Structure formats: structure tokens, C-alpha cells
């Protein structure tokens, strides 16, 4: 049995695929890259009993990142999966989390954030389907959300639904500058570094509220 951790990369962009491989290998993380999800599935590597994680682009020709998660679930393959996305989409995030995704990385990729996430994931060598946050962390996010003003909560829901600042401004009858101001304040209050963090925060909050209402 091979006990050396490995990160599998699936991305149809050859430049990003190579960059991710080189980045991981620069910190001595073994990796193997594939241009298509079909190639990874056909390789049989996911059945190998070794510590591993998967990085997959959300949007790819053929089997997308979400479709890949569905295939893995159908085949009974449990591997910690990090999705790479260029946008924030709350329905997609909720669906991905339910299918077992553990986190999102946004483009352009923050190198250190990716390295830290992959290293932590490989060390844990496990994934729990659903949100990778504990009750205390979820309660903290809910508290932060409740401390937003009613207008900021509106903007929060809009931007985590994938709306641009202009779309938010048009929908709420405010200026783009005001929408940008609210967005900056929300990011600070929610302690979010990017839109992916904010989207994941919304998924966590809605999941927590659902638990309390059950």
C-alpha cells in the first residue's frame, strides 16, 4: 500500500493545470493532473488505498466539477474535493457541499491559501459530507450575519447569489458606489477574504438556521 499523499488535479486549462502541479510539487506534495474528469475516472487511481485529495474546476467540457462529485458519490468513492471556481453561485455551492465538496478556491488562485488547504486536507485524510465547520463556528457566522444592517443583509444575499455590484445597485435602487461600499463592509464584518468565503458563509448560515427550525 502506497502511503504517500497525493493531490489529483482536473482542469481543462493546461496553463492552470501545470501551474497547480508545479506549485504543489514546490512544497513536496505529489500530484497528478488530468485534462478531463473522464480521464481521472478511467485511470482507476481513485480506487487506490492512499491518502489523497482532489482539485477540480467547476466548469469543464464533458464532466464538470459538480458532475464529477455526483459520479464519485454514485460509485461510492470518498475523496476530499476542493472545487476551483471563477464566480460565486449559492445554489451551486449548496449542491456541491451536499455532494461532499469541502471548500472552494477562486480564480485567480491564491498560492499560499491553496497550499495550506491541500496540506490540511491531506493531513486530515478524511472528509465529512456537508459543511466542514463545527457548531461553534457556524454560530459565530450566524451572529456576524445578524449584526449586519437590514440593507447589508440584502446585499449579502444578492452578491452570494452571483449578482455583480451593478446588478445589486439596479435591483435595490442604489448607486454602484453604495453597493461597493456595502460589499466592502460585509466582507469585513463577516471576516471573508473573497466571494467564495462569503458564499460558504451563507451556505453555513442557511444550514444552521435549517437545523434550528427542524
Domain locations along the chain: 6-124, 135-213
Q: What pTM does this model have?
A: 0.65
For domain 135-213, the CATH class is mainly alpha
Query: Could you tell me how far CA 208 lies from the centroid of its own chain?
Result: 18
Tens-level pLDDT at each residue, the chain (214 residues): 567 889 999 999 999 999 999 999 999 999 999 999 999 999 988 887 778 899 999 888 899 999 999 998 888 888 889 998 876 666 777 778 778 788 888 888 889 989 998 988 888 764 333 334 557 788 899 999 999 999 999 999 998 887 889 999 999 999 999 999 999 999 999 998 877 778 878 877 877 776 555 4
**β-pairing, 30-34 with 52-57?**
unpaired
Long-range contacts of 12-15 (CB under 8 A, 24+ apart): 12/36, 12/57, 12/60, 12/61, 13/57
- Pick 6-124's CATH classification: 3.90.105.10, 3.40.50.2300, 3.30.420.40, 3.30.70.3040: 3.40.50.2300
Amino acid at each position: 500500500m502506497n502511503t504517500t499523499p497525493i493531490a489529483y488535479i482536473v482542469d481543462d486549462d493546461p496553463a492552470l493545470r501545470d501551474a497547480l502541479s508545479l506549485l504543489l510539487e514546490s512544497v513536496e506534495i505529489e500530484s497528478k493532473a488530468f485534462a478531463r474528469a473522464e480521464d481521472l475516472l478511467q485511470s482507476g487511481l481513485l480506487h487506490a488505498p492512499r491518502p489523497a485529495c482532489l482539485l477540480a474546476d467547476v466548469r469543464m467540457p464533458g464532466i464538470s466539477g459538480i458532475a464529477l462529485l455526483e459520479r464519485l458519490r454514485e460509485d461510492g468513492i470518498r475523496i476530499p474535493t476542493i472545487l476551483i471556481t471563477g464566480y460565486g453561485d449559492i445554489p451551486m455551492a449548496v449542491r456541491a457541499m451536499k455532494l461532499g465538496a469541502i471548500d472552494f478556491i477562486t480564480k485567480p488562485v491564491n498560492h499560499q491559501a491553496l497550499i495550506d488547504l491541500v496540506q490540511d486536507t491531506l493531513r486530515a485524510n478524511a472528509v465529512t459530507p456537508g459543511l466542514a465547520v463545527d457548531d461553534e463556528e457556524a454560530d459565530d457566522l450566524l451572529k456576524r450575519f445578524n449584526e449586519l444592517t437590514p440593507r447589508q443583509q440584502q446585499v449579502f444575499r444578492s452578491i452570494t447569489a452571483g449578482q455583480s455590484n451593478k446588478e445589486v445597485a439596479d435591483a435595490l435602487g442604489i448607486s454602484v458606489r453604495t453597493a461597493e461600499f456595502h460589499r466592502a463592509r460585509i466582507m469585513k464584518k463577516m471576516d471573508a477574504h473573497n466571494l467564495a468565503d462569503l458564499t460558504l458563509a451563507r451556505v453555513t448560515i442557511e444550514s444552521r438556521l435549517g437545523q434550528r427550525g427542524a
